[in-house]
């Protein structure tokens, strides 16, 4: 496989880099900010992406996008991540809601929602996971009952990013409890009116996730996406877009974690310690493996293929690199039995605590290993 950029890709990468360097000139280091400050800059960054026509790179021109392929979006994400750009506040809208509506929406739904996403007027969240249905998403129990003109929905969702800012939700609910679990689900483009949103406090003190409660929330028939009972198929489309949009980000985040670890070692005067060099060498190799795996996945997608179980191996390896790099950084701060004070040490502790979630969110480590065991090694199902 050729890992080098084509001439066209290289020219686009330079175009992206030039714009990013200017657009990020006044943006502070996100690692040193509070959550409220990070959220402020995420909103500012979202506005700049929309104003600069970078919000819908892979959307068709007919829907207001630039008609580029998924690799172009991945390259943009990679260059933004390398420069420490804020995560756009409407990432769910740009990366998931818009493409899913383009793939499955009616003309009326596309006209109603796509312009608002590109302008930054309509913010979205993703209402998939439930208190009892995370990794086994098809077991969801949020119920939608047909009423005149639409549906009454009751249930709860959890681990919903950006729900406190969203005006719309990509919502899965069960519309036919008698059908097999994958067949009785419907996908809704639900307005957030009537949702009760509560923040979840994480171990590092942040509240980026939410739980949502739906009590007789009305959603109109016009907001059913892909047809009643076809929600599982539409949801798989959303999840595929989610994997693709993150492809090149993962290796950047892994490498950044390793680079920060090296900076701490230099600061502490242990960069030449043989045990440390061995540990960092192993982490660098794993980070490079994440990069190569990401490029392979993008290449397969570009050739018309569908990413398979290798995405589970990629996610698992990335999580391990980031967790171990952050753990070692904190251990260096604690060298000699004294925890180092200061903003840098506090940021490292916050990253270490946040990294614990990487083997839970987006499919737990146990689920990733089960996928590899069943689909690659052909072992019997574990559940």
Using an 8 Å Cβ cutoff, are 95 and 242 in contact?
A: yes
3-class secondary-structure state, position 238:
helix
CB within 8 Å of 91: residues ≥ 6 apart: 162, 245
The answer to whether 45 and 215 are in contact (CB under 8 A) is no
Residue from 15, 31, 39, 242 carrying the catalytic annotation: 242
Do the beta carbons of residue 42 and residue 88 sit within 8 Å? yes
Round to the nearest angstrom and report the end-to-end CA distance of the chain. 36
Quick one: which of 222, 99, 135, 225 has its CA closest to 172? Answer: 225
Alpha helices per DSSP H over 5-34: 7-23
Taking the C-alpha atoms of residue 168 and residue 156, their distance in angstroms, rounded to an integer, is 16
Say how far apart CA 263 and CA 348 lie, in whole Å: 12
Question: Is 242 one of the catalytic residues?
Answer: yes
68: three-class secondary structure by DSSP: coil
* Residues acting as catalytic residues: 242
């Amino acid at each position: 496989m050729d890992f080098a950029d084509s001439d066209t890709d290289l020219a686009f990468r330079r175009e992206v880099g030039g714009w990013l360097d200017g657009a990020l000139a006044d943006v502070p280091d996100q690692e040193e900010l509070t959550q409220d400050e990070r959220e402020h800059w995420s909103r500012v960054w979202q506005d700049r992406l929309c104003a600069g026509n970078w919000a819908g790179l892979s959307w068709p021109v007919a829907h207001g996008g630039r008609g580029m392929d998924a690799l172009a979006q991945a390259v943009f994400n990679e260059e933004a991540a390398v420069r420490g750009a804020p995560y756009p506040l409407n990432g769910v809208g740009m990366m998931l809601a818009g493409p899913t509506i383009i793939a499955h929406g009616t003309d009326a739904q596309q006209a109603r929602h796509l312009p608002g996403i590109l302008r930054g007027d309509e913010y979205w969240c993703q209402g998939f996971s439930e208190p009892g249905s995370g990794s086994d998403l098809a077991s969801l129990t949020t119920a939608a009952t047909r009423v005149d003109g639409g549906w009454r929905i009751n249930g709860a969702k959890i681990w919903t990013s950006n729900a406190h800012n969203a005006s719309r939700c990509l919502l899965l609910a069960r519309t036919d409890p008698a059908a097999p679990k994958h067949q009785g689900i419907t996908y809704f483009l639900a307005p957030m009116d009537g949702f009760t949103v509560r923040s979840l406090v994480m171990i590092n003190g942040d509240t980026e996730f939410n739980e949502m409660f739906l009590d007789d929330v009305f959603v109109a028939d016009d907001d059913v996406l892909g047809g009643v009972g076809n929600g599982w198929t539409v949801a798989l489309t959303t999840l595929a877009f989610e994997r693709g949009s993150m492809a090149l980000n993962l290796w950047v985040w892994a490498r950044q974690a390793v680079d920060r670890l090296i900076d701490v070692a230099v600061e502490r005067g242990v960069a030449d310690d043989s045990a440390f060099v061995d540990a960092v060498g192993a982490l660098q190799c794993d980070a490079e493996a994440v990069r190569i795996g990401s490029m392979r996945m993008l290449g397969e997608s570009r050739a018309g293929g569908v990413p398979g179980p290798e995405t589970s191996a990629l996610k698992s390896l990335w999580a391990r690199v980031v967790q171990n790099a952050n753990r070692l950084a904190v251990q260096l701060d604690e060298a000699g039995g004294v925890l180092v004070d200061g903003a840098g040490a506090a940021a490292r502790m916050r990253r270490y605590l946040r990294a614990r979630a990487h083997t839970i969110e987006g499919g737990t480590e146990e689920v990733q290993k089960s996928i590899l065991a069943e689909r690659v090694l052909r072992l019997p199902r574990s559940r």
